[in-house]
Amino acid sequence: MSGPGYVGRTAGTVAASYSIVVPPGFVRVPGGMDAPDAVAFVAVQLGEQPDLGTEATVDDWRLRFGSALASALAADANGRVLDSYLSAGPLPGTDIVCSIVVASLPVTRSEHADLDRLLLRRVATHGAAPIVLAGDPAVVWDDPAAEAPPRGSLAAPDEAADLTPLRRRTVLARVAGHDDRLLTLVLTIGSAQAGATASGESATETEPDADARARIVDALTDVFDAMLSTFRWRDAEGRLVTDRPLA
């Protein structure tokens, strides 16, 4: 591995951004956007320019993106969200939607703010499993879908009222070259119970049975895990940070 697109991981290597492979069927919403800008950004990615002045179009877009988009925007209340990745509406034939929120979590420097200990605490308190994300220590755990998520600085963002959570998986990771922040990636899979669609069709007509729903949730979780394997840090010049020898 060589070339100007890579930089070796050394004591002075500092991550400035990241890259991740996103599969088809997801749209990206950068952090810091308000609702109108986010909707417009999604429309451009889908090649659609909705007329939000008509009630039917508003209802249709709310059904397709409302729950996941509201969840992503709510997560950015403190301006810490880097990106959100949303499924392009409910999966065909289902009412299931999916969002992945990537956020930076500042940690106040102190003699007790040891980042590795913070990760280990998640192992003890949440049953988290240790993993490696882009060469840095990380942990991953699932929150019970039937219970409200824990409140606090590490809690996942609240969903909109019409999104019933089916699974939430959280990754908490060290950031290359930083000792004052962690990175979170939160997968939320939910059921978008939006009542009737703009065409009058009941949303329950597309609801899969319990076994099919469980298989879909498992498949989306596998997609998230596969995306994590593609996660890489980039330095300020956009070069990929690598542990491999550079020729």
DSSP assignments along 61-102, one per residue: HIIIIIHHHHHHHHTTTTS-EEEEEEESSSPTTS-EEEEEEE
Question: Which DSSP letter does residue 157 get?
Answer: P
Res 158: pLDDT: 42
Total number of residues shown for the chain: 247
Res 135: pLDDT: 93
Structure-block tokens of residue 173: 């990771």
Res 230: pLDDT: 97
- What Cα–Cα distance (Å) separates residue 197 from each residue in 11, 24, 191? 55, 24, 14
Please identify which residue in the block is written with the tokens 């908490």: 172
Res 40: pLDDT: 65
Segment-wise mean pLDDT, segments of 10 residues, the chain, 247 residues: 75 91 89 66 61 52 54 58 87 89 86 83 92 96 61 41 81 94 93 51 58 92 97 95 82
Res 155: pLDDT: 40
Cα angle for residues 207, 197, 97 (degrees, 5° grid): 50
Res 153: pLDDT: 40
Res 197: pLDDT: 39
Domain boundaries, the chain: 15-240
